Each structure stands twice: as C-alpha cells, then as structure tokens.
Structure 1
Amino acid sequence: MNYQMSTKDANQDKKLEKADLTEVIKQLKVDPKTGLSAAEVSKRREKYGANELTTKEKSFASQVLHAFMGPISYMIELAAIVSAIIGHWDDFIIILVLLLFNVTIEVWQNHKASSALAALKKGLAPQAIVLRDGKFQNIPARELVPGDIIKIRLGMVVPADVRLIDGEYASIDQAALTGESLPVTKKVGDGAYSGSIVKQGEMLGVVIATGSNTFFGRTAKLVASAGSVGHAQKAMFQIGNFLIVVAVILAAIMVACQVYRDIVVTDTWGLKSALNILEFVLVLLVASIPVAMPTVFSVTLALGAVNLSKQKAIVSKLSSIEEMAGIDILCSDKTGTLTKNQLTLGKATLINAADDQDCIFTGALASQRENHDAIDDAIIAAVKNPADLHKWHVDKFIPFDPVTKRTETHAHNDQGEVLYASKGAPQVIIDLAKPSAAETAKIQQAVADLANHGYRALAVAKSTDQGKTWQVLGILSMFDPPRDDSKKTIKNALDNKINVKMITGDDTAIAIETARQLGMGTKILNAADVFPENFDPDHVPERIVNIIEEADGFARVFPEHKYAIVKALQQKGHIVAMTGDGVNDAPALKQADCGTAVQGATEAARSAAALILTAPGLSVITTAIKEARKIFKRITAYTIYRVALTMTIMFLVVLSSIIFKFQPLTAVAIVMMSLLDDLPIMSIAYDNTAVGTKPMRWRMSHVLTTSTILGIFSVIQSMLILSVGYSLVNHHDTFGWLDMVNQSQLQTIMFIQIVSAGCLMLFVCRAEKWFFERPFPAKILLLATCSTQIITILMCFFGWLVPAISLETIAFVWGYNIIWMFIMNIIKLTVDRHLNKD
C-alpha cells in the first residue's frame, strides 16, 4: 500500500487550503449532501493510505549495533579481540564489561529520544463523524480519506485537515499547532487543522489532507528529520581519532623495533616472538583507550542533571547539559514563557462611560461566565465589585459569531430597570450605535493606537430602551502582559552573552510591543514576509539565513519556520536553545542544540525536548545555563587530564619497551589505574567551579595541545623514575632506603607513580591558575580521591593484586610527584597564557 503521497499530491493539498470552496469540492469529486461511497473510499484509501503518521523507526538491533561504532568503541573492541587471541581472559572480561556499560547508556538515551514521534501520534483524534452513502457514522479517524465530509463539534479533536463547508461558526483552539494565544473563530470557507480542538460551535467540513500530509503530519515529518550531532559527541570522536593516530604511530615504531631486534639482532623470530609482539600491542591498545571516559562523561552529566532538577529543570537528554554551556542564542516562545498567557485589561478609552468601571461592568454583563472564554474571563475578573453583577438577571444572551462579531445580553434588575449590553469588534459597535462623527473618529483613533502597540481592542455599548438606541461607552484594551521576572531574565541572559530572539505565532505588533516592554530588540519580522511559500526548511537560502541571524525575532510563525530558524542559526555556527510548549514547537525543539519544553508543555513538546522546565517562565533556563557552564568546565578539565594521562601511559609503554626491553605496566594494571583515577573523578560534578560569563564550547585545538604538552612532561616525569628504578634493579644497587628487588616490584612502582601523578594532575587541570587557590576542590572530590589513593597505597604495601613494596618507597614516589605537581602547574599556566592570546 502506498502510504506516502507524491510531491505533486502534497502540493495539491496546499492548493486546496487556499482555493475557492467550489473548486475544492470539484477537485475532490464529492457531493456534500451524500459524501463518498464505500467503493470510492476503498479506492482512495489504496491511494492515500491510512490517516495516521507513518514513520521509519530503527530496530532495537540496529540501535545496539550503532552503539558499538565510533573511534573509542573500535579501540576498546580491538583490545578485547587481541586479549582473547593471546588468552588474557582477565583483560578481556574487564574491557568487555566497560564496553557493554557504555553501549547500554547510549542505547537508553536513543530510546528516550525516539519517544517524540510516539507522543505526536497520541495527539491525533481517535474517532470521527463522517458522512458516507448519505448517512453519518462514527468511524476510527485513521479510516478517513481526502474528500470525506465530516462533522466537528464542541470538545472534538479535528481528525484531519479540512475546509469548512456548512454551519454558523466554530471556535477552534489551534495554539498547540500555530502558537496563537487565543482560540480562532472559523466560518464557512476557512480551514481547520488536524489535531486542533473545537471549543465552541458545530460545522461540516471536507477533508483535504490526511496522515503525514496534514499540517500536523508535516510537523511530525520535521520531528523525524530533526536532530543534530552533539558537540560532546563530536569532541569524543576527535579525541578518539587523535589517540588512534598516536597509538598507530607508536605501535608501528614499537613493532618495527621488536621485529628488528628478533630477526636481525638475536635471530630468534618465531611464534613466541609474534605472540610477545601481539601482547605488547595489546598493552599499547589498552593504554591508548580512555576506557572510562564515556562512562565518566555520562555519570558526570547524570550527577549534573540531578543538580539541575533541584533548579526546576529536568534533563531528558544528558548531552544537552554540555550544549547548554555553549548556548549563544536563545529562541524563546512568547505566550506563557515571556508572558503570563492571561489576557489582562489595560486602560480603557472612555467615550460616554462615567469611568473605567462603568465600561468594564457593562462589558462583563455582555459576557458569559460558564463558557470560560479568555476575553470574557478577563473582563469579568476586572470588575471591582463582582457581587453587583448578580443584581442583574439575564433574560437573553446572544453569543459571539463570525457574522455579527459581537455578543449581546438582555437583563433586568429587581428595581425593574432593563439594560441591553453589547461588546465586540469596534467597527461593528459603531455600526450598531451610530455615534457622531467626532465620537467615531475618536474610537477609530483609539483602535489604531492600540493596534500599533499590539493591544486588542474591544468596544462596549449599552441601551436602556430595549435596543432602540445604543450608546458607545468606551474601548477596552487587552494584552497578555509580560511575566514579572521576564525583563530581569532577559537582562541576565544578555549579560551572559546570550542573544534572545522571540519566536511567536501571534501578530507582529503584539510581539514588538512585548519585546519593547522587556527591553529586547524590536526588529521582529512577519515570517510570511521572509520565507517564500513552499520553501525547503532544510535548505534555507543564504540571503534568508543572514536575515534570520540579524533579526530580533519572528511573528506569525508555523512549525517549519521555527525549525528553519533554528537550523539556519546552527549553520552560522551558533549553539541554539529553543523553548516551546506545543506540537508546533516539537520539530524546532528536537533540532535545537538544547530544546526546552516550558512548564505546561504538551507531551509531544516534552518528548522532543532535551530539557523540561517545571517552573513557569524563562528564568529557570538561564539558571540552568549557568549550572551547565560549571559542569562543562569540570568536563573540560577532566578531558585534558585524561588525554594527558593516556598519552603518558602510551609513551611510557613504548619507550620502556624500546629502551629497556621492559614492560612497565600490564594490561590489567592499566585498566586498574583508569578505574582508580576515574571512579573518584565522577564526583567532579559536585566540584566548586567559577561561573563563566560567556558561552563555553569545545576548543579541541586548545584541549589537545594542552593535553599533549602536559602528557609529554608527564612522560619525562615517569621515565626519570623508571630509569632510576631500572638501573637499581638490574645492577642490584641500593639508594639509601630505596631498594629494588625485582622487575615485578618495579612494575608496582610505576603503577603507584602513574596513579598518584594522575590524581595530582587532575587538581592542576581543574584550576584556573594555581591548584592551591580558590575555588578549592569540593569536599566530596577530595574525599573520593583521597580514598582511592589510600586504597592504592594499601594495595602496593600489602601486595593486593600487585607485588608489595616498602612504605619508604611509596613515600619517595609521592614526594617526587608532589614536586612535579608544581612543575606541571607552571607548564599549564604557560600553555594557557599562549593559547589564550587570541
């Protein structure tokens, strides 16, 4: 069955959205009085497929397979294979456990990320009322086809994209799809989107698009195609590639030297020699792999996520924490995020009313409390003495409809007074009351002024002679006011070098006025004026990309606009955060580096987002960004330390084998060193760190240069103590109380030397300047590192898993490393000073 329409058919659907209604009926070949026949429905279902979202989902097996790919994963897998070949099963088991742990974390994250489309599917209507063969019937919404005549009414979810063909009116809430803050009143000829909710009225419509070709479906397609490779993932690839290149070069040198020695020098080449070389390669492979790096990254981010949850920010995608640290553009929704999403009355323009309350009270009489219309609720809430409303008894209420564009109430009180009250569009009230030319001019000027400032205008009139003559009382202004904390939050963002762009489905004038009140830029453009019709959101022309970058925001946006804005900014090298709450926001939320679902967001928005705010407003995200910058600093410090330590181990293994024909470390010892140094470092998420005042992102040239230089000097540090130890062992000398008995004990010396030097190097890497200056390490980090160092000392002294050495020897190694700690700090400060000149 063909579930996907051709591009020609999809374009035809878009034409039907705007074509004359008679032409729509003609093209769809349907009789509005009888609907489609069963035979015709069967043909169309064969052509168009089911009215549901069709997605291509990766199988669980393919997700698992993908998790085993990547530079660091390949290195770990190769090390496991080599250890199995030469029968080092203890190495094999340790390496395999770490690999499976890393794969489990990645598969779990991918599983959570795939839930966005599932949430979107839940938004589709489960049932529809359709006219077929002249009879109305209830059917599953998935069975609808283009051309079906359907009925929509109060409380229903619109089951497909339709053009309305009969009925008085329908008030439809499409905020989740378009971002408009109020329900939209629809009349004959208007369109209604799949997934929107009918708030009032009842109408007939003809289906013009189903499934993935609806407005809702196109949003789902964008969600499916959205998503960018995280910067942390890119950094991990670069680190892995760098270490692979270094490992391959060192392995080639080591193998060449060993083969030359066995064939040319000693003439002892054989199977045993080949296995010895393979064992050396295994040790080098294990040494070249930062086996615990992915785990430390994940655990550090997870602990950071727990901390962010205390700030009312729930992290659903761990990598978003690292992305948050580099955010330089925040695309914010307006309604409910920057504003309260509560219509509020502004100052009234009085025409014949005695005061503001006279005008508001009459407007409240012309409202209906039980409908909970947003405008009615705002007016009723503004009445100072609500009890006075109960003194009037409503005899008749005429609700708003698209034709009259006003409401009207007939009421009386206990004194026998009669009052007719009406509120509605200003021009309609002018036509009703027929005021003088001077009053008309005053009304029109007030409406124009309000429109220029983004306010909605509503005229109020009353009649005391049963509607024979009407008097205009005044013009009520309505506005969704900014949240109390929004202005401060915007300033805070700007101070932290984050540019905030407003992206809203509301009118341009409303957006500009909101931006003005918040101290934001007011260069807000109508999306329709910038983006051409039927544009490709994945390939925005350079001219439009430049406009997007320079604008302060966009109004009247659709989902494809939001998605295109985010993607265009990313193409310009920006790290983008996007906030939203509706289905229409889901594609942009998924595409953004840090998609953020605000409080009260739909399930589709929450599923697509990487960060979910549980407190109202935008202030939470700026707090989260500050916290993310701290976490990013900690991860960067760990990365520099870990790459430097990995290079130290690699060069030590190669140089020792070439110069001394001695293997200073076993594969198990290398893995144990990684665990002893990395396990306590997982507490780095709690470390004390200064907050950066500007976006932070991966500077791999800086990271790798610093790591390489620190690694080179660390190699010198290790080779010096190895040279002394090797000389003493092989010449059976003593140096005071330092007495080496055999090469196994020398391996223990190198084991504790690397572990303790690595611990001290971390404190150098985490410091901005000197390791003994503020901010001091967190107590939990100190406790964790001290604990593992004590364990290492006990292992070496009592001979747990390694040959025992004396306490004096352990003290000598520690004293030697502490001296080098100051040397390494000087080197790091020098490197930082030169690299930061730009």
Structure 2
Amino acid sequence: MGARIPHPSDDYARQPPDQTLAELGSDRAHGLGEAEAAARLARFGHNEIAEREEPVWHRVLRRFWGPIPWMIEAAAVLSALARKWEDLAIIGVLLGVNAGLDFLQEHRALDALRALRRGMARSVLALRAGRWRRLPARELVPGDIVRLRIGDIVPADCQLVEGEYLLLDQSMLTGESLPVSKKAGEVVYAHTVVKQGEMLAVVVNTGAATRFQSVVSLVAEAGLHERSHFQRMVIQIGNFLILLTLALVSVVVLVALFRHEPPLEILRFALVLTVASIPVALPAVLSVTMAVGAMNLARRRAIVSRLVAIEELAGVDVFCCDKTGTLTRNEMRVVEPVALDGHDEREVFLLAALASRQENQDPIELAIFHHIDEHLPDLDWRAWRQRRFTPFDPVRKRTEAVAEGAGGRLVAVKGAPQVLMELARLDEEQARTLGELVEQLAARGYRTLAVGRAAQEGAPSSWWA
C-alpha cells in the first residue's frame, strides 16, 4: 500500500501511532517490504540534507573580490601602465599570499569537516519484511520501523510506537542540556541523542523534511546574508581609502592642469599617488595574523573554517550564556549540597550514589559521581551492592535501588523533591519548610534533587536530604 505524503513532523504528535502507521502504509510487526522501501527511497530521496559545496574556482576567485582587493588590483594595473615592473611584482606577490593563505586555511578546515562526517556515518536497526536489519541511516524512508536505544542518534523524525519511555538530549535543537522524557505517541526529532530507554518508532519524515532542516536553513541563510563586524570594518576602510584616493588624484590633476603640466607627467604622478595610497600589504598581514591564530586553535582541537571568525570572536565585548551550560561545557555539577538536621554530606552522597548507575552516563548521575571523586574520595560507596535497580521514569519521577553493605540492607531513593516529601510522609510544617528551601534554590538558578532511604522496600523514607 502506498504511503500518503507525510505531514509536518509535529502534526503526528496529535494522533495515535496506529493512525500514523495506517497513513504511512506500515505495520509494526513486519515493517515495510523491500520493494515498497525502494519505491519510497526513489520518491522521497535519501535521508540526508543535501549540501551545496562551493566550487573550487569560485572559492579562489572570491578572494580577489571586494574593495581592498579591487584597490590592490587597480594598483597592479597602474604599475603595469607606468612600467614599474618591480612594484607590479611586489603587489602580485602580496595579493597572491593573501588569497593563498585564506584559501589554504579554508580548504584544510573543509577537509577536516568532511573527515569528521565520514567518521560519523550512522547505521540504524530497522524492521524490513519482518526481519530486523542494520541499515545505513541515509536509506531510511517514511514508514520504516526502527528501534531506538541508549546511545543512539535519532536518524530521522519519528513517532514513538511501543515501549516505556525515552530520555532524549535535544540540546542541538533547543539548547537545553537536561534530557527530556518522551513516551509512546510523541514525536522525536532527527539528530537528538537517546540517553536512556528503548522504544520502537515509525519514521515520519526524512532528509530535508525533518525539523533539523530548519536549523540548517537558518544557519545557511545567516552565513549567506550576514557579514561579520570584521568584514564590515575592512569594507569601510576600503571604501574610505577609495574615496580619499579619488579626491587626492582629482585635486592633483586639477592643479597640474591649471599649471599647464604635460599630460604624460600628470598621468604618471596620478599613478604614483594612487599606488602609494593603496595599503597593498594590509590583507596579507591580516591573513598571516589570523592564520597563526587558526593554527593555535587547531592545537586545541578547534576547527576554523573561516579566518574572519577569529577576529570576530576576539572582538566580543559581552558574552551571554544560559544557566543550562549549553554554551559552556554542557555538563552539570553539584553546586550546593544541603544535609538536613542530624545528617551530613557523606550520607547524602552515599545514598545518591547507591540510587545511581555510573554506566548509564546520565548527566545528573555523572555530576553526583564527579562530586564524590572530587570532594569525597574516601567515600566507600563501591563496597555496597545493588540487588535491584529501578531507573527513573517520567511517571514515578524517582530512581530506586535496593542495596546491601556493611551497614545492612536499605532502599536508596533519588528524585524530585515533591515526590520524596510525599514518600517520607512529612507533616505540614516540615513540608512547608523544605518547599521554601527548594524554591530559594530554584530562584538562584539551581535544580534541586532529593535523596532518601527506607529500611525496607515499600516502607516510607526514614529521612531525606
């Protein structure tokens, strides 16, 4: 059965997965047949965003276009007319050095980016003709059934069909560093990363029809139409020098004509003045300086695709970043641990570690283990053994673990403060006091995580901090 033309990805979140499968002519038990998948691949194209690479000849000629290059090229022409071959050679070398350095740096950066893309070629587990197969992500089509699990990069815009939940890192699209929870019926977007969970999903849009395409389009449009502050300043300098040179030459010519100087002498003097007014070494000096900066950044594993970006970054006066850390290291850290009366920080982090799993690479749990390694290296949490572990889910809003150690057997709980307050069965006064503490921390931009323990499974928490 042929598929209907896919809708915008967000529209699928408003309908149940079975309706989506029916519209796309797919089956959750068998997926698409090989013939149907091939037909859809021919119809919708590969699951990739086409890149329009600038031709090499255009990238070379672009270095000779602009106010400053025009002035240098004019100086070269005037030097040739005046038969000043030494000047012509020097100007030609400077013009070539400027264009060559800029082109070489951009070419190296583009080669590095291509190598990164080749190294990041992805595959996905898809259901085709009733069999699970690992396919290149670029061969997915609308209607394919895929399996998403921890560590996977979502290959296309999909609607979740079956499973408990997924925790997704959507920072590439939204800038939010904390993962978001998704359940059956919701839509997940291409290039987001699965942090926890495993679910089946149906592909609803691929390639240029995905939400990620809008991000790419905005970036491409900005690069096409926007000039950096550095470029604008160089253009202003070039325009000023052109106007100044024309004004000086005009004055010299008028004075010489008034004094009845020979026309050939007037022309030669005007040529000398024009060549002297053009800063032929300026672009070469700028390119060499920024190329050195690009080399220093490369040693720090930063790829500079455009030299002008270095000067633009160096000219930043105010740097704004959000509290999530997306613009910094995209890592969470424990800032201000609070232990309630009768307990200390060691107890808090012992329970937090027992209610976590380091191998899950959860950003919140990684912050806990990092704090222990940095501030409590002698905390022997590894001496305890987890006998049962219940991961976080968006319904219960907590993580639980049954652990055994030298101190006996206990249940460690970690989750939202409101949930643990309810589990601990606090009285009204205690609940109000702790609620005010959570609000005070939130007002300072902190995310609050509560930990607690119970002597046995099913019992209320004896304390929490």
Same fold, TM-score > 0.5, yes or no: yes
Q: 1:427 to 1:411 in 2, by over 3 A?
A: same
Separation (CA, whole Å) in 1 of partners of 2:207 and 2:119: 12
Separation (CA, whole Å) in 2 of partners of 1:21 and 1:178: 25
3-state SS of 1:363 partner: helix
* Aligned AA (1:455): Y
The aligned residue for residue 420 of structure 1 is 411
Shift of 1:140: 1.1
Are 1:283 and 2:272 counterparts? yes
3-state SS of 1:287 partner: helix
2:153 to 137, 150, 157: 157
Are 1:409 and 2:401 counterparts? yes
3-state SS of 1:199 partner: strand
The answer to whether the 8 Å contact 2:414/2:449 transfers is yes
The aligned residue for residue 97 of structure 1 is 93
Shift of 1:467: 2.0
3-state SS of 2:138 partner: helix
The aligned residue for residue 192 of structure 2 is 196
Shift of 1:127: 0.8
* Aligned AA (1:245): L
Separation (CA, whole Å) in 1 of partners of 2:290 and 2:406: 69
The aligned residue for residue 447 of structure 2 is 456
Q: 1:190 to 1:452 in 2, by over 3 A?
A: farther
1:191-590 alignment, distance < 5 Å: 191-227=187-223, 228-229=226-227, 230-246=231-247, 249-250=250-251, 253=254, 279=268, 282-299=271-288, 305=293, 316=304, 318-320=307-309, 322-323=311-312, 327-334=316-323, 335=325, 341-344=331-334, 346-348=336-338, 350=340, 354-355=343-344, 357-379=346-368, 381-382=371-372, 388-390=380-382, 392-413=384-405, 417-429=408-420, 432=423, 434-436=425-427, 440-441=431-432, 444-464=435-455, 466-475=456-465
3-state SS of 2:319 partner: strand
* Aligned AA (2:185): G
Q: 1:119 to 1:439 in 2, by over 3 A?
A: farther
Are 1:134 and 2:124 counterparts? no
3-state SS of 1:181 partner: coil
Provide the aligned length of Structure 1 versus Structure 2.
451
The aligned residue for residue 61 of structure 1 is 57
Q: Percent identity?
A: 38
* Aligned AA (2:459): T
* Aligned AA (1:221): S
Q: 1:66 to 1:420 in 2, by over 3 A?
A: closer
CA shift digits 1:326-355 (9 cap, x unpaired): 54432335417668934216343648x655
Q: 1:254 to 1:299 in 2, by over 3 A?
A: farther
The aligned residue for residue 163 of structure 2 is 167
Separation (CA, whole Å) in 1 of partners of 2:377 and 2:279: 71
The answer to whether the 8 Å contact 2:101/2:291 transfers is no
Q: 1:238 to 1:50 in 2, by over 3 A?
A: same
Shift of 1:470: 1.9
The answer to whether the 8 Å contact 2:386/2:401 transfers is yes
The answer to whether the 8 Å contact 1:125/1:159 transfers is no
Q: 1:154 to 1:277 in 2, by over 3 A?
A: same
The answer to whether the 8 Å contact 1:169/1:187 transfers is yes
The aligned residue for residue 66 of structure 2 is 70
CA shift digits 1:757-786 (9 cap, x unpaired): xxxxxxxxxxxxxxxxxxxxxxxxxxxxxx
3-state SS of 1:57 partner: coil
The aligned residue for residue 581 of structure 1 is none
The answer to whether the 8 Å contact 2:79/2:271 transfers is yes
Q: 1:17 to 1:226 in 2, by over 3 A?
A: farther
Shift of 1:458: 3.2
TM-score, scaled relative to structure 1: 0.47
The answer to whether the 8 Å contact 1:124/1:157 transfers is no
Shift of 1:456: 2.8
Separation (CA, whole Å) in 2 of partners of 1:113 and 1:240: 32
Shift of 1:87: 5.5
Separation (CA, whole Å) in 2 of partners of 1:169 and 1:215: 21
1:590-739 alignment, distance < 5 Å: none
Separation (CA, whole Å) in 2 of partners of 1:20 and 1:399: 26
Q: Extract unaligned runs of 5+ from structure 1.
A: 1-8, 263-272, 476-838
Q: 1:122 to 1:215 in 2, by over 3 A?
A: farther
1:144 to 140, 160, 170: 140
Q: 1:79 to 1:421 in 2, by over 3 A?
A: closer
* Aligned AA (1:45): L
Separation (CA, whole Å) in 1 of partners of 2:233 and 2:53: 24
Q: Report the aligned-residue RMSD.
A: 4.2
* Aligned AA (1:49): G
CA shift digits 1:59-110 (9 cap, x unpaired): 1111222222233433433443455467654444333223322322343455
2:46 to 39, 43, 50: 50
Q: Extract unaligned runs of 5+ from structure 2.
A: none
* Aligned AA (1:234): I
1:12 to 8, 13, 25: 8
CA shift digits 1:788-810 (9 cap, x unpaired): xxxxxxxxxxxxxxxxxxxxxxx
The answer to whether the 8 Å contact 1:125/1:157 transfers is no
Shift of 1:440: 4.9
Separation (CA, whole Å) in 2 of partners of 1:160 and 1:363: 35
Q: 1:284 to 1:421 in 2, by over 3 A?
A: closer
The answer to whether the 8 Å contact 2:6/2:204 transfers is no
* Aligned AA (2:53): E
Separation (CA, whole Å) in 2 of partners of 1:126 and 1:307: 30
Separation (CA, whole Å) in 2 of partners of 1:302 and 1:26: 56
Separation (CA, whole Å) in 2 of partners of 1:17 and 1:207: 13
Are 1:41 and 2:32 counterparts? no
CA shift digits 1:255-288 (9 cap, x unpaired): 8679x766xxxxxxxxxx87x7765554344334
* Aligned AA (2:29): K
The answer to whether the 8 Å contact 1:75/1:244 transfers is no
The aligned residue for residue 711 of structure 1 is none
The answer to whether the 8 Å contact 1:157/1:197 transfers is yes
Separation (CA, whole Å) in 2 of partners of 1:356 and 1:109: 52
3-state SS of 1:138 partner: strand
